[in-house]
Amino acid sequence: MEPRQSRLDVGLPEIDLAQRWANYRVLRKSFVSATALASFHHCPVKPFLERVLQAAGLDRATWAMRQGLAAHEAFQSAATAGAEPTPRTFREALHDGSFLVAVEYPLRDERRMLRGIADVAFAAASQAHIVELKNARPPPTTDPTWGLPVRPEHALQLELYGLLAREDFGATPTLTLVYMQDASKADFLESTRTSGRPQDALEALVESHPTWRPTAEHDALLKQTIRELRRAERRPFLPQPTHGDPARCGQCTMRAWCPRRLDRPGEFQHVSAALLERAT
């Protein structure tokens, strides 16, 4: 059988090497994930490169990614300290006003084919909360779309969690973004260690960080971005970046494999079609 690369290369211009390299792996996924949506909002090329490397079995974890994972685990362990396993649901906790917390909480909408995993979900005083953790410093300025000091791709990711949680919880959650490289992680860990009450620490965290509830305008932006990602999946080639900043490309974790990179045009690592053919 003729390799996928050869089959799909037919008729493509010889001069567009970036397109020829990428066209056989821009595949539609059954579900749109919150992390893929955030990547797409940051740069339309990024989620498709992540799929290429995942299919090829290539390790793309960086030192910063490993540090971020460790920070998440420390924060999440403190948030659930002393919590006993329970069959109770968030709907039940919200109904009776009790405290319930979960980490790595899966959210899924089969009808709309959307999914995500919330870093921290909790219910307290009959209010639902979703907390997204980022091992980074908060941006120095307010984002005009969200009206808060947040990065727009992070806010959009959290907005999708909010949409999914509404179905799961039967209530609209409060959404909170925590950038852990200020004092947030240290303060939270110290609070839970000394008080032994994760509920108090979580409620204080919500009060001191960018927090909002979903709006119609934010929902419209979320749904528009999902449609754009789906359209990009149907095309047989990588999309173009939506920015013109070489410095931004130079900071991207996908830059070494990106045929669309602006900081060093044309310098990227090829992923062989044969490797991908075996992987898929």
Q: What per-residue confidence (pLDDT) applies to 25? A: 58
* φ/ψ (deg, to 5) at 156: -65, -40
Span 247-278, pLDDT tens digits = 999 999 889 888 889 999 988 887 765 555 54
Instruction: Give the residue ranges of the chain where pLDDT is below 70.
Output: 1-27, 272-280
Q: What per-residue confidence (pLDDT) applies to 87? A: 92
Q: What per-residue confidence (pLDDT) applies to 27? A: 66
Q: What per-residue confidence (pLDDT) applies to 276? A: 53
Q: How many CB atoms lie within 10 A of CB 69?
A: 12
Q: What per-residue confidence (pLDDT) applies to 262? A: 94
* φ/ψ (deg, to 5) at 133: -100, 130
Query: What are the tokens at 119?
Result: 């870093």
Whole-number Å distance between alpha carbons of 172 and 177: 16
- The tally of CA atoms less than 13 A away on the side-chain side of residue 198 is 20
Q: What per-residue confidence (pLDDT) applies to 22? A: 47
Rounded to a whole number, what is the largest CA-CA distance in the chain?
67
Burial call 244-254: b when 16+ CB within 10 Å, e when fewer: eeeebbeebbb
pTM of this structure: 0.86
Q: Which distant-in-sequence residues (6+ apart) come within 8 Å of 59 by Cβ? A: none
